[in-house]
Amino acid sequence: MRERVACGACVTVPFGRRSLVGVVVEPGEASDLEGMKARSIESVSGHGAPEITPELLELTRWMATYYMCSWGEALRAALPPGAGRPGAAAPTRVRVTRVALAKAPPAAEPRGERQQALLHELRQRRAKDLDDPTQPELLESGGGSSTTIRRLEELGYVRIYRTLVDRYEYAVQNEARKVVPSADQNTGPTGQIQLNDDQTRAVEALSRAVEAGTFRTFLLHGVTGSGKTEVYLNVLEQVRGRGRTGIVLVPEIALTPQTVRRFRRRFGDEVAVLHSRMSQGERYDAWQGIRSGKYAIVVGARSAVLAPIPNPGLIIVDEEHEASYKQFDPAPRYHARDVAVVRARIAGAVCVLGSATPSLESLANARADKYTLLPMPERVPVDGRPAELPTIRIVDQRGSPEFVSAQLIEALSGCLERGEQGIVLLNRRGYAPTIECTACGWTPECPDCSVGLVYHKPLRHLRCHHCGLVNDMPRVCPSCRKETLEKLGTGTQRLEESLKEALPTARILRMDLDTTSGKDAHHEILQTFGSGGADILLGTQMVAKGLDFPRVTVVGIVQADSSLSLPDLRAEERTFQLITQVAGRAGRHALRGEVLLQTRKPGHLVIQHARRHDYEAFARHALAEREALGYPPHGRMIRVLFSGPEDNRTESMARLWALRLSERVAQVDVLGPSPAFIHRLRRAYRHQVTVKLPPGHAATSLRAALEAATAALGHLPRGYRMTLDIDPMGMV
């Protein structure tokens, strides 16, 4: 067995009376644990080949140190789901149909245009040395229908045959049918585009770094519609040309189908796409395929940063400012952007962080010359004419009881008359966020969480958006028995109702968590909107992401200020980013865009900077504020959350821990404990301690002190939990 047990191999080992899966990180003869005897490995999986590459062993080791979790927790994040169980899934094969060029086709071309297009596609694939496509893949890129293919077979141009594929490939082939129309469809089957000057400059700088073959990080700061994706595609080509591979991280696959498709169009079967809606079996097979070198490019959300792709030469983090790159539960509580940078360093790769609104952390790193800034300050010109960012008009909603202003209705109806489309953002789902009894002031609260319940109209329910609890909406006030319950405020459901009333002929689609629970729901909504089957797309921040629809000319932002007052140090940054992102959906192509920003804080600096598309001014303001308060990127933070069934006991635990820590550290602020923003969640009380480190201090320098403080608590009683979050994002 010794020969087969290489570092990184997955093995099954006896552990007490159970068997567990372990990863070999170092050979050894004896146990490190006192009083423990070494036992024999039961079996080695993966046919003896290492499962975890040396690069990922080193990366997970770094994660364990930096995020203060166990190496095992970090390694688990790098293994496919199900790999933790002994005897877990093995790749499984499914039968599919492929199409190949015939060996001796007729000399003359077929007559049908569709037939010619399909043949052309097949020949191009052969010229690029790609595998024979499956039937749906071929139809996706070449057009036509299965009848066209059958006809070509009858005429002797192609051969249809059946092969075995794994579950991942099988799923991909079914996915291939789904296409969301996008603006770049006029660019030919491979999506080749002539780069403009800014893009060329960026691509050249990146190519030089790729050629040098050493680690370097770039911050690609390009306004919405400046053509960042095109830059990624070009640099990936260079990397491929040098025999190396690439990883592309996107915030959420379901919300960025057009971006993903552009990678597929350019790189075909070389691309593996990892997304959260894959089954465990599909993920397992995809992982194996990536590990074995079958794919050259991995596109995926957060966890794809740990994809086992061999020899990465380029790691791209698109929309690097997105909070979804941070994992909170379970450990490792990592930030995929930061892990990407470290992985690139270990692999000797180039890392590209792209955004229209870079996080202040990345901006600070660029200013400190840790990252190289690549600016793309202008939109891609259309037909040789300069394209402009949309005009943002502020609609002062102070004193107005309406959810939708007359100005927004007017802009949307103008847009409908011209046969164009609109997007409306309201970052709050449900019908009414608050219910209140006007007689006695009663309002419904979740019995398990310290938050109010939200009214959902379709089933007349009250829901907790944190734990999912559902209650019926009472007819009378449970407290005073009067019929005086009022629905206050608006969520997306109510907004949809208001818009339908004001624009009775408009075809409106709503996209939020409630309308996208089905497997293909995102796709269906975007597909309908993209093909002109609806006039207005209304939704939560889901509609703000990378959508690229050329007929969208009006964007409405309802309650733009609602997120400004959240108790989060990044509340202003998030608001600025969200406004900029959604505004960036308007007027991306030949048609000019207009944005209406409804707010009750028209004079707020963030609103004003966003209105002028002035990222620099916003960043100056925000960085100064962070510095004054000692918040990141000026220094770092650790958040420690204590939770448990009894409020007082949880708090005193947090208090003791904070005290023990502050006794051991100098130059570090230990703040709290204080009740968490959501004081009670799923019946657990929560208190937090925040540790602020001055610039130049890494959290790891506190390791000994943190460990000692934790040891002082002893063994936590049943039901109590302590979580350490390094570089925390958002509120918990």
Stretch of 257-265, 321-329, 334-342, 433-441 lying at the interface with Zn ion (CB under 5 A): 433-441
Nearer to ligand ADP, 347 or 387 (CB): 387
Residue 548 binds which entry of Zn ion, ligand ADP, none, CB below 5-8 Å type-dependent: ligand ADP
**Which among 233, 242, 303 is positioned nearest to 273, based on CA atoms?**
303
Q: How far is the CB of 471 from Zn ion (least distance, A)?
A: 10
Q: Which two tokens stand for residue 158?
A: 């192609």
Cis status, amide bond into 673, omega within 30 of 0:
yes
Q: How far is the CB of 716 from Zn ion (least distance, A)?
A: 23
Alpha-carbon distance 633 to 625, whole Å?
A: 11
DSSP for 160-178, please give it: EEEEEEEHHHHHHHHHTT-
First to last CA, the chain: 47
Nearer to ligand ADP, 220 or 661 (CB): 220
Q: How far is the CB of 646 from ligand ADP (least distance, A)?
A: 50
Number of residues that bind ligand ADP (CB under 6 A): 18
Binding mask 472-511 for Zn ion (x = CB under 5 A): -----x-xx-------------------------------
Q: Which of 176, 183, 254, 525 binds ligand ADP (CB under 6 A)?
A: 183
Stretch of 41-49, 240-248, 466-474, 642-650 lying at the interface with Zn ion (CB under 5 A): 466-474
Alpha-carbon distance 607 to 630, whole Å?
A: 24
Residue 380 binds which entry of ligand ADP, Zn ion, none, CB below 5-8 Å type-dependent: ligand ADP
Q: Binding to ligand ADP by residue 225, rule CB under 6 A?
A: yes
Burial annotation 307-346 (CB, 10 A radius, 16+ → b, else e)? bbbebbbbbbbbbbbbbebbbeeebbbbbbbbbbbbbbbb
Among left, alpha and beta (phi > 0; psi -120 to 50; other), residue 460 is: left
Q: Binding to Zn ion by residue 439, rule CB under 5 A?
A: yes
Nearer to Zn ion, 164 or 440 (CB): 440
Q: How far is the CB of 420 from ligand ADP (least distance, A)?
A: 17
Number of residues that bind Zn ion (CB under 5 A): 14
Among left, alpha and beta (phi > 0; psi -120 to 50; other), residue 604 is: beta
**Contacts to ligand ADP from residues 505-564, by CB under 6 A:** 548
Q: How far is the CB of 229 from ligand ADP (least distance, A)?
A: 3
Q: Which two tokens stand for residue 595?
A: 């944005």
Q: Binding to ligand ADP by residue 335, rule CB under 6 A?
A: no
In this structure, which amino acid lies at residue 119?
L
Alpha-carbon distance 45 to 59, whole Å?
A: 22
Alpha-carbon distance 537 to 520, whole Å?
A: 17
**Contacts to ligand ADP from residues 380-399, by CB under 6 A:** 380
Q: How far is the CB of 718 from ligand ADP (least distance, A)?
A: 50
Question: Look-up: residue for tokens 């000797």?
Answer: 348
Nearer to Zn ion, 500 or 679 (CB): 679
Alpha-carbon distance 322 to 417, whole Å?
A: 35
Q: Which of 440, 488, 698, 704 binds Zn ion (CB under 5 A)?
A: 440
Q: Binding to ligand ADP by residue 224, rule CB under 6 A?
A: yes
Strands (E) across 417-491 are located at: 421-425, 434-437, 454-456, 461-463, 470-472, 485-488
Binding mask 185-204 for ligand ADP (x = CB under 6 A): --------xxxx--x-----
Which positions lie near Zn ion, rule CB under 5 A? 437, 439-440, 442, 446, 448-449, 464, 466-467, 469, 477, 479-480
Which positions lie near ligand ADP, rule CB under 6 A? 183-184, 193-196, 199, 222, 224-230, 380, 548, 588
